[in-house]
């Protein structure tokens, strides 16, 4: 069931959303530091990434808002991916959230991240990691802090984009009971 607030609706992404998802992401790649990709993936690659995420049973979400003309338009997207592939990391998930530049500050990022947290918690994940490009990315750092993430460190100058070195910030949030109890499938 889609999550709704007064203006924003969050729902599972569909393959027919991929063109708008691609446009949002391409703008971030070409103009910002949220992604360390330097060349936007093509539409087919974005569609494959969406299918791969969903095939692994992980959430891939879009946020929409009804425009003045009555159309419900995708304004942002978010998804969860494995933090690392080695088995001991299986209870830790990484989030990614992207919002169209003309919709930043209108609640899309918060609605997407909130729904992503709820879904990953319900799936049994215990930690969520945010890897944020650029220590000056106050919007993303603030969004994550608002949702209970704490900064666990930064990695100076790990990327080089737009002719300058770029830092990466790590933030983390406990999901469910976190590390206070063993996972449901733990066998002593």
Predicted confidence (pLDDT) at residue 40 exceeds the cutoff of 80:
yes
Read off the pLDDT band of 186 (50, 70, 90): confident
- Three-state DSSP class for residue 15: helix
Chain segment 110-163, per-residue pLDDT in tens? 999 999 999 999 999 999 999 999 999 999 999 999 999 999 999 999 999 999
Read off the pLDDT band of 171 (50, 70, 90): very high
Nearest Cα residue to 143 out of 118, 176, 111? 111
Chain segment 21-33, per-residue pLDDT in tens? 999 999 999 999 9
**Distance between CA atoms of 5 and 64, rounded to whole angstroms?**
11
88 Cβ contact partners less than 8 Å away, ≥ 6 residues apart: none
Chain segment 50-72, per-residue pLDDT in tens? 999 999 999 999 999 887 777 78
In sequence order, the β-bridge partners of residue 173 are 128
Using a 10 angstrom Cβ sphere, with 0-12 exposed, 13-18 middle and 19 or more buried, the burial of residue 7 is: middle
Predicted confidence (pLDDT) at residue 1 exceeds the cutoff of 50:
no
Chain segment 83-97, per-residue pLDDT in tens? 999 999 999 999 999
pLDDT of residue 5: 53
pLDDT of residue 71: 79
Q: What is the mean pLDDT of the chain?
A: 93
> Computed from CA positions of residues 116, 44, 57, 178, in that sequence, does the dihedral angle turn out positive or negative?
negative
Q: Which domains does the chain have, with CATH numbers?
A: 3-177 (3.40.630.30)
Helices within 32-107 (DSSP H only) = 43-55
Taking residues 71-87, report their average pLDDT.
94
């Amino acid at each position: 069931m889609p999550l709704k607030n007064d203006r924003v609706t969050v729902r599972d992404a569909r393959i027919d959303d991929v063109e708008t998802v691609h446009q949002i992401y391409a703008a971030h790649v070409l103009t910002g530091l949220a992604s360390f990709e330097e060349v936007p993936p093509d539409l087919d690659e974005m569609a494959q990434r969406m299918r791969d995420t969903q095939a692994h049973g992980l959430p891939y979400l879009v946020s929409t808002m009804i425009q003045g003309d009555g159309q419900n338009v995708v304004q942002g997207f978010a998804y969860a991916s494995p933090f690392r592939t080695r088995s001991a990391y299986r209870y830790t998930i990484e989030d990614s959230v992207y919002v169209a530049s003309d919709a930043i500050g209108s609640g899309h990022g918060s609605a997407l991240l909130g729904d992503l947290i709820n879904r990953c918690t319900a799936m049994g994940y215990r930690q969520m990691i945010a890897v944020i490009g650029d220590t000056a990315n106050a919007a993303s750092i603030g969004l994550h802090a608002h949702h209970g993430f704490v900064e666990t460190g930064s990695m100076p100058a790990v990327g080089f984009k737009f002719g300058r070195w770029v830092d990466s910030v790590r933030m983390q949030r406990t999901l469910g009971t976190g590390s206070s109890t063993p996972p449901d499938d733990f066998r002593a």
